[in-house]
Amino acid sequence: MTNDEAVKKFSDLVFVLAKARTRQLSDAEDVYQEVFCRYIDKKPKFRDDDHAQAWFIKVTVNTAKNLYSRYEFLKRADVEESDLENIISDEDFLSKVEERDSLDGILSLLPEDYRTVLVLRFYFGYSSDEIASLLGKSRASVNSLMQRAKSRCAEVMAKTDTGNKSNNTDRKGDKRDR
C-alpha cells in the first residue's frame, strides 16, 4: 500500500479516534501527523486491510496516550463497581443520545478510555472482542468500560437536562429514583 493510499483509507479513522482521545483539535492534529509519520518511517507490511486498520488504531491510541502522559494530563475517573448495575443496551444508549445531543458533544465530557471504546463501538462498529484485541485488553474489561462509559453518558445527559429544564422536581427524590 502506498503512502497516499494509506492516508486516504485510514485518515478518517485516525483523526476521529485521535479527536476522541485528546478532545482538542490541535492535539488530535498532532497525533494524526505523528501516526502517519510513523507509518512512513516504519513502512510496516500488513497481511490484509484488517491488519492495517488494527495497526493504525493501536498506534493512534498509543500516540494519544503518550502525548498526554508526557504532559501529565491523564486524569482517570474513579468509577465504582455499582455503576455496572445499571446496564444500558446499545439501542437504548443511542436513542437517548439521538434525543439529547450529538455523540461528539457528550464524548468531549468523558475520560479518554470511555471515549475510545464508544468511538470504536458506535462510530466504527467494532464488537467487544475486536475492541479488546485492538486495545490489548480483555473482553470483560472492554465490556466494563463500555457500560461505565454509557452510564457516565447518561449521568452527563441527566445533569445537563436538569440544568436546562426548569421543572419543580425534588432533587432528593431524583437521587432516590436512580
Rounded CA separation 80/83 (Å): 6
Residue 45 sits at the vertex; the CA angle it makes with 39 and 49, to the nearest 5 degrees, is 90
- Residue 67: CB atoms within 10 A of its CB come to 19
Percent of the chain with pLDDT over 90: 21
The domain 3-70: what is its CATH number? 1.10.1740
Return the CATH architecture of domain 85-164. Orthogonal Bundle (1.10)
Q: How far is CA 114 from the centre of its chain?
A: 5
Confidence at residue 175, expressed as pLDDT on a 0 to 100 scale: 38
pLDDT of residue 123: 81
pTM for the predicted model, two decimal places: 0.49
- What confidence tens digit (pLDDT) does each residue in 146-174 have? 888 888 887 877 776 655 544 444 433 44
Domain extents for the chain?
3-70, 85-164
The whole-number pLDDT of residue 95 equals 61
Q: Round to whole Å and give the CA distance between 147 and 114.
A: 9
Selection from 129, 162, 160 nearest residue 146 by Cα: 129
What is the rounded distance in angstroms from the CA atom of residue 156 to the CA atom of residue 164? 12
Q: Residue 85 gets which letter from DSSP?
A: G
pLDDT of 87-121, one tens digit each?
556 666 666 555 545 666 777 788 888 888 888 88
- pLDDT bin (cut points 50, 70, 90) of residue 77 is very low
Q: Give the span between the Cα atoms of 102 and 20, in whole angstroms.
A: 13
Mean of the pLDDT values across residues 30-43?
92
DSSP string, 104-161: HHHHTTS-HHHHHHHIIIIIT---HHHHHHHHT--HHHHHHHHHHHHHHHHHHHHHHH
Yes or no: say if 53 and 10 are a contact pair by the CB < 8 Å rule: yes
How far is the C-alpha of 105 from the C-alpha of 128, rounded, in Å? 23
